[in-house]
Structure 1
Amino acid sequence: MSTYLYRLAHFAFRRRRLVLAVWLAAAVAAIALAQASGGKTNDDFTIPGTEAQNASDVLSAKLPAFSGGQSTIVFATHGGARIADPRSRAVIATALGRVRSVPQVSSVVTPYQNGLISKSGQIALSQVQWSAKAPDVKDANLDAVKAAMQPVRAAGIQVEYNGSVYPGWRTEVSEAPELVGLVIAFVILMITFGALAAAGMPILSAVIGVVTTLMGITAVASVLTIASASTTVALMLGLSCGIDYGLFILSRHRTNLLNGMTPAQSVPLAVGTAGSSVVFAALTVVIALCGLTVVGIPFLTVMGLAAAASVSVALLIALTLLPAVLGFAGQKVARFTRLPGFGAHAERVARRAAADPQSTAGAAWARFVVRDRVPVLIGGVALLVVLAVPALSITLGLPSGASKPTSDTQRKAYDLTTEGFGAGFNGALLIVVQGVDSPADTRHVAGTLAKVPGVVQVTPLAAQGGVSLIRVIPRSGPNDTATADLVHRLRDERSVIEDGTGTHILVGGTTASNIDVSAKLSGALPEFLIVVVGLAFVLLTFAFRTILVPIKSILGFLLSMAAALGAQVAIFQWGWGRHLFGITPSETISFLPIIMLAIIFGLSSDYEVFVVSRIKEEYTKHGDAREAVRRGTGLSARVVTAAALIMFSIFVAFMFTDDPTIKAIGFSFAAGVALDAFVVRLTLVPAVMAIVRARLWYHPQWFDRHIPDPDIEGQRLERQLAEGRLARAGVGDEADG
């Protein structure tokens, strides 16, 4: 592999104008296609095979007027005013009459019709049914609803919104997290390299890759349903992996230049050596992300494939565009920029690292870990186990209005509804009754439902074509375990509820759908873990030619994953970060553990490959296993630290948003990366390898005979260069173009 990568980089270096033009043309074409297609992300999820999805499908076919989005408008008066006062009643009724005339609105039920006025007389609920699915409701129509409510607000009545769709429900995408992450990444690279040219190149190439990928995803969104979270995850990974992959290659190239090589000699060699590690690292990430397809949930499948595409483009960028850009830069990446504060220091550190790698702080850390390997191993494992303890209390769910910031209209509506009617009115269940022969069947089912413990209200809504719809209000909130128990009880006792009427009921609605999603995700975790870990085990065994390295890598990942999940539970579910991060404690997002498994496993394999490949490179030179651990860890520590800090910073930047889902994702990824890079890969892995020593590299003789050697450490490439074989094959050192 190293030889092929050498040739590819040599071509990109010589034909750099062509390579740059191709990538820029690809980015421009993707932008143009995205604009022309008008593609937009769509959060209309389907969960095939679940009862809630089956109920939704029946509604779409038999009662289409009730299959669209729903809005709840919450009214609240203050002081001595009441909802039933003539003045309040008149202004609310007039406003809701205007809402009825808004396009896509199929029905409006006022508080005076449904009787949903609190005992205090100061809180009331109105239901708006839309004819279109929530993502298909036009913003102009939602704005019209908001405009219709202006006279109500002017009359001193508070108006808030909740439901599957409402004015302001779409999360505004802010560019601030990406910009903050890029600025931090630039600062880290400046500290690492001490040169503007060197600091800017990984960022520039990563941005080109991300723009190309995201515009491509946007274009695809015109024909496929792509969740908004998919683009966020693709952006996170595209930026972080793109910068990291460029950093590893650039670091090797820069060391070559400082040791006297010409750019034409250094660039292909850097890609041929460090690039092999980048390829295997990227492949493990892609495998983990594509493994999300085994879960069987379309929006997670699309999320995984979109993120995998982003990582794949980042890999191609690092192997082709980066060598081309380095060709334009020439010796500039090895020239230090004297900036106030750290420029001179960075120059001294970089020159010392190139001339005497064993004098760096990373080398000192490696010597410490190898010397005190047993207590280091025990202490590191103990730390991760303690952090993992909260994960035993994990509760899965999907975000409700209760998890929103207190300034958000959905949160205000949720709190007012809970105050006026109880938490259950925020999470109604929809019972679809099939095989209805007469209204008596619906009445019988509704009457039986009303007697079920945990049910506070039952309301028949509509009937048509042998199907009727009943709304059930539970006593507990949408994310309460008691509500999940109620859903399971209704399903388990459906024969009692139907009681010989010949009907068949399905329990659906948003709350039931969320419960089904959580159950399906929990059930898919073992299968997903086996598939992803199994494929990655095969890939890493092929790369390092020993089964002990993959086993060690997987065990380390499980520790860091458990610790990161435990930290997430403590911060977001237990509420330890309530004031620090401005969050409301709530359940762990149901799909978070599985995407953490995919992404953190992939990223942990990145650092595993980068560290262990350097150790193996040293081991093949002199055969001293423990000395190889010292030298290899010391040589990789600085660049792995910079890469992990960049990835950590980009993930942390996404915590500074108002969306609790994005906050949780950003924190979990950041914690996972930090723990895996610093505690596992730069501490526990060297400690274990120093203990096991040469036995770690054992493999049977038949492995050598039947399994090709990918030469991940670049030893065969360097031997070929020394023997001049590549030069005789037509790959020279001259720079062309």
Structure 2
Amino acid sequence: MATYLYRIGKFAYRRKGAVLSFWIAVLVLFGVGAATLSGPTTDSFTLPGTPAQQTQDLMAERFPAAEDPMSALSARYVFQAPEGQTLDDPTNQEAVEEVLAAVRGIERVSAPAKIDPATASPEQQAGVLVNPVRADAGLVEQMKAAAAQQGTPEEAALADARALSPLSADRTVGFVTVPFDGAITDANETMREKIVAAADLGRDAGLNVQVSGTAAAEMTMPGGTAELIGIGIAAIVLTLTFGSLVAAGLPLITALVGIGIGSLGITIATGFADLSSMTPTLAIMIGLAVAIDYSLFIVSRFRHELTLSSDRAEAAGRAVGTAGSAVVFAGLTVIIALMALSVVGIPFLSVMGYAAAFTVLMAVLIAITLLPAVLALFGEKAFAGRIPGLSQSDPEGDQATPGAALKFIGAVTRRPLVPLVAGVVLLGVLALPATGLRLALPSEATGDPKTSARQAYDLIEEGFGPGRNGPLLVVADARDADVSPPAAFGAVVASLSEHDEVVNAQVVTVNEAGDTAQILVTPRSGPSDPATMDLVSSIRDGEAQLQDEFGVSYGVTGQTALEGDVSASLQSALVPYLAVVVGLAFILLMLVFRSILVPLTATLGFLLSVVATFGATVAVFQNGWGGLISNPQPLVSFMPIILIGVVFGLAMDYQVFLVTRMREDYVHGASALDAVRSGFGHGARVVSAAAVIMISVFAAFIAEPDSLIKSIGFALAVAVFFDAFIVRMVIIPAVMALLGDKAWWLPARLDKILPNVDVEGEKLTRELGLSEPTPETARV
């Protein structure tokens, strides 16, 4: 491989015009495509095949007009009366009516809701926006009349009315749900502004009015500032590494081109597939970090090769042939980890992985083709713009006197057992909080307390109890029941009411055929409370008994159950995903290092990094340590699986970049211990710079207001820190010093089977007859 990459690098350097023109054309083409083919993003997290989704599908079949709670477009206005007053007061009633009048004038509000209640027919009134006080009164009368007709106790009817009423028992809090035509993707900023403007009318009249729902969600585009901060810090690190402004700018130029193409490609994809709003941010976060790092390694090696050859095209070819080989295989590990997200069978997660993998692929291709062309474009000025006081020494060359890296690795390998045990114990202690890991999908319950949506959620909980924010919907199918459908439905309601965690259960809708009913269940706990999903499991467990007794079957759905099933599926997919990723990458690393123990130690080191990262993230974002967030909450359900994939790929990056230099020295005749020390001395400075850059890029996203992006940025930053500076620079060298020559052992039979990919460039070295620099040939 090194030979092929050498030819690519040399070709790109010599034919810079053609290569630069090609990538500029690609960038322009993708820009045009993004401007003309893009579509909206969505934050609807669904998973086919889960029990809740199967029940939702049954409901869609039996109740064709029913809305999917995961894609319905709506807004909820929550009103709270001033202190000491109720919503019954005439002035408060007038304020609520003023808000609703303004709401009816908003475009896309469902047609029945636009009708004036005063002129609406009884049939129309069911879909009319009615203030909570009037709705409560009408509901109570309706329930009393139904109870009298059916001969049921009035007390039970009033309890059912209370469970459905939009007015709190103390009459201080009420809400109105506003349906809109269309799906979540049809929401826009103009609609949101009108929704907020209507709420402001009530606020001006003295009411506390908060708004939640998909139609009212703030349409923010994360990123921008975070990327600029990350790029700024990367520029500083690159300048310190090379001592040259021009050299520092080269990785940034190519990285920006790669990110531009990658993000534009993802924008194009939104026109053909459903992508979450998080997908572009995750892809840019990962792509930017690896793009800068990959270019840094090749530019650093190019500078080193200039001390071996006066021919700059030759130096570019050698840099791409050696460091570029490591870049390709490091990129492959990241791509494998991201593409493997598809094995868990969760569509939105697969799309995230594909998008991020695409940006990494662009980073690799640009590093081995565009970067040599850019080096040729700058020519003799590639390392110009020297900064006074900063050294321009070769970051990968041998130093006349032992530097900090050699002194450090000497201390680590002198008594390797001590740093090995210390590193493992430290990461083990950091991992302890991970034992309390809790997962949930993003929702109003986990939102920032400063947002109107979260305040609306809190008002509902305060006025109606936690369960009103996350009711469950049981769909009972009596088509094959042994008793009449009404009797079957009654049996289901009675069974549900026996659960201690159920506040109320009642039939709310029966389909036209009369054989299927929707039963609304109000739990005692909130949607993000583990007790609610325990209740869901308990309800599902009770179906078998009712089916045996009455022949009725049922399922549980609703937003809470749907999101809970997705979270449970994501959690159960962690181990299989980890096995697939580790297995594939282990094989790849065997090809790279031609060893059994090196890939094994690399994988075990990754496991240490990831559990320590989980521990730190749980401590900060779930337990609230350090005060980084104002609302500690469960981690987002898909974060652990994404974190495993990304961290594994990035961890293998540093393993490949650092250990290939050790293997390079080992195959060129150095002893195992000397190879560890000399390889570390050659690669540590550049790897450290790359790790600091990657940490900076990820850490910059902690400044984002969105807690999901904030937590992912934090987790990736600490993961790179743990892996690069504790695992790869302390634990791995200590283990390799202890193993000695055994580290590079490979069974003879396996040695014959595995192809020699020559990542360390041994074959290329023999072909080119490379020698160490002499004072006469050394130059920049």
1:162 equivalenced with 2:221 (yes/no): no
Say whether residues 1:690 and 2:737 are aligned partners. yes
Q: Which residue of 1 aligns with 2:511?
A: 464
Per the alignment, residue 127 of structure 1 pairs with: 177
Deviations 1:259-285 (A, max 9, x none): 553321211100001111111111111
* Alpha-carbon offset, residue 363 of structure 1: 1.9
Instruction: Give the Cα–Cα distance (whole angstroms) in 2 for the partners of residues 305 and 297 of structure 1.
Output: 12
Matches within 5 A, 1:580-591: 581-591=628-638
Q: Which residue does 1:64 correspond to in 2?
A: 65
- 1:515 aligns to 2:560 (yes or no): no
Residue 408 (structure 1) shift: 1.0
The match for 1:95 is: 99
CA distance, structure 2, for counterparts of residue 456 and residue 263 of structure 1: 77
Seen in structure 2, the aligned counterparts of structure 1 residues 498 and 140 have a Cα distance that, compared at 3 Å, is: farther
| Structure 1 residue identity aligned to 2:583 | G
Task: Tell me if 1:708 matches 2:755.
Answer: yes
Structure 1 residue 716 displacement after superposition: 1.1
> Is 282-291 or 39-48 further displaced after alignment?
39-48
| Structure 2 residue matching 1:224: 3-state secondary structure | coil
Q: Counterpart of 1:54 in structure 2: which amino acid? A: Q
Q: Which residue of 1 aligns with 2:270?
A: 221
User: 2:714 maps to what in 1?
Assistant: 667
User: How far apart, CA to CA, are the structure 2 residues paired with 1:17 and 1:458?
Assistant: 72
What is the 5 A alignment of 1:565-584? 565-577=614-626, 579=627, 581-584=628-631
Matched, 1:337 2:386: yes
Which shifted more, 264-273 or 494-503?
A: 494-503
Corresponding residue number in structure 2 for 1:146 = 196
Q: C-alpha distance in 2, partners of 1:221/1:96?
A: 35
Give the distance between the partners of 1:65 and 1:105, measured in 2 at CA: 17
Q: How far 1:355 sits from its partner (Å)? A: 5.5
From 404, 410, 418, give the equivalent of 1:367: 410
* Cα deviations by residue, 1:154-182 (Å, 9 ceiling, x for unpaired): 2111111234x141343332411111111
Indicate how the Cα distance of structure 1 residues 620 and 109 shifts in structure 2: closer, same or farther if over 3 A, else same.
farther
Quote how far apart the aligned CAs of 1:560 are.
0.6
Which residue is equivalent to 1:541?
A: 590
CA pair 19-31 structure 1, distance change in 2 beyond 3 A? same
CA contact (8 A) 2:238 2:689 kept: yes
1:468 to 1:72, Cα distance in 2 relative to 1, 3 A:
farther
Q: CA shift at 1:25, angstroms?
A: 1.0
Give yes or no for the alignment of 1:12 onto 2:61.
Answer: no
Question: Is 2:336 the counterpart of 1:287?
Answer: yes
Q: Is the 8 A contact 2:41 2:185 kept in 1?
A: no
User: Structure 1, residues 70-94: CA drift from partner, whole Å, max 9, x if none?
Assistant: 4332111223332121121232134
Partners of 2:497 and 2:193 lie apart in 1 by 37
Deviations 1:81-126 (A, max 9, x none): 3212112123213422543454444444642315332344322222
Distance 2:49 2:328 in 1: 37
Segments of 5+ residues of structure 2 without an aligned counterpart are 111-126, 137-164, 772-780
Taking the aligned partners of 1:52 and 1:620, their CA distance within structure 2 comes to 57
Question: Which residue number corresponds to residue 52 of structure 1?
Answer: 52
Could you tell me which residue of structure 1 aligns to residue 78 of structure 2? 74
Distance 2:509 2:240 in 1: 66
Which residue of structure 2 lines up, in the alignment, with residue 621 of structure 1?
668
Structure 1 length-normalised TM:
0.93
- Counterpart of 2:179, as a letter, is Q
Contact map agreement 2:308 2:770 (CA 8 A) in 1: no
2:115 counterpart residue number:
none
SS class of match (2:45): coil
1:564 aligns with 2:613: yes
- Taking the aligned partners of 2:703 and 2:770, their CA distance within structure 1 comes to 54
Q: Percent identity?
A: 41
CA gap 1:550/1:227 in 2 versus in 1, 3 angstroms? same
1:381 aligns with 2:421: no
> Against the structure 1 CA distance between its residues 373 and 360, is the aligned structure 2 distance closer, same or farther, given a 3 Å change threshold?
same
- Contact 1:259–1:354, Cα closer than 8 Å, also in 2: no
Matched, 1:296 2:320: no
Aligned to 2:468: 425
The 3 A distance-change label for structure 1 pair 352 and 471 is closer
Q: Which residue of 1 aligns with 2:31?
A: 31
After superposition, residues 232-311 of structure 1 pair within 5 angstroms as 232-258=281-307, 261-311=310-360
Note if contact 2:304-2:395 (Cα within 8 Å) is conserved in structure 1. no
Change (3 A) 1:53 1:335: same
Contact kept in structure 2, 1:575 and 1:584, CA below 8 Å: yes
Letter in 1 for 2:757: P
- Aligned mates of 2:391, 2:446 — CA distance in 1: 44
Q: Which residue of 2 aligns with 1:729?
A: none
CA contact (8 A) 1:612 1:632 kept: yes
* Structural mapping, 1:477-496, within 5 Å: 477-495=526-544
The CA distance in 2 between the partners of 1:599 and 1:706, in whole Å, is 30
Root-mean-square deviation over aligned CA pairs: 2.2
Moved more, 494-503 or 531-540: 494-503
Using the alignment, how far apart are the partners of 2:300 and 2:616 within structure 1?
32
**What is the CA-CA distance between 1:336 and the residue it aligns to?**
4.9
Runs (4+) off by over 6 Å: none
CA distance in 1, matches of 2:64, 2:104: 19
Whether the 8 Å CA contact 1:110–1:127 is kept in 2: the answer is: no
The residue type equivalent to 2:132 in the other structure is P
Change (3 A) 1:583 1:63: farther
Matches of 2:348 and 2:478, distance apart in 1: 32
How many angstroms apart in 2 are the aligned matches of 1:121 and 1:514?
31
Q: CA 1:620–1:146 in structure 2 vs 1: closer, same or farther (change >3 Å)?
A: same
Aligned partner of residue 631 in structure 2, secondary structure: coil
For residues 588 and 498 of structure 1, the distance between their equivalents in structure 2, rounded to whole angstroms, comes to 37
What is the distance in 2 between the residues matched to 1:628 and 1:268? 25
CA distance in 1, matches of 2:271, 2:8: 35
CA contact (8 A) 1:185 1:649 kept: yes
Amino acid aligned to 1:77? A
Equivalent of 1:188 in 237, 245, 251: 237
TM-superposed deviation, 1:138: 4.3
> Contact 1:424–1:477 at 8 Å: present in 2 too?
yes
8 Å CA contact 1:615, 1:631 repeated in 2: yes
**1:232 CA displacement:** 1.1
User: Which of 389, 397, 401 pairs up with 2:444?
Assistant: 401
Which residue in the other structure is 1:734 paired with? none
Q: Report how many residues are paired.
A: 715
Say if 1:400 and 1:478, in contact at 8 Å, map to a contact too. Answer: no
User: Match of 2:67, as an amino acid?
Assistant: F
Task: Flag the structure with larger Rg.
Answer: 2
Q: Tell whether the 8 Å contact from 1:525 to 1:594 is kept in structure 2 after alignment.
A: yes
Structure 1 gap ranges (5+): 725-737
Q: Deviations over 1:541-593 (max 9, x none)?
A: 1111111111010000000111001101111111103x2x2331111211111
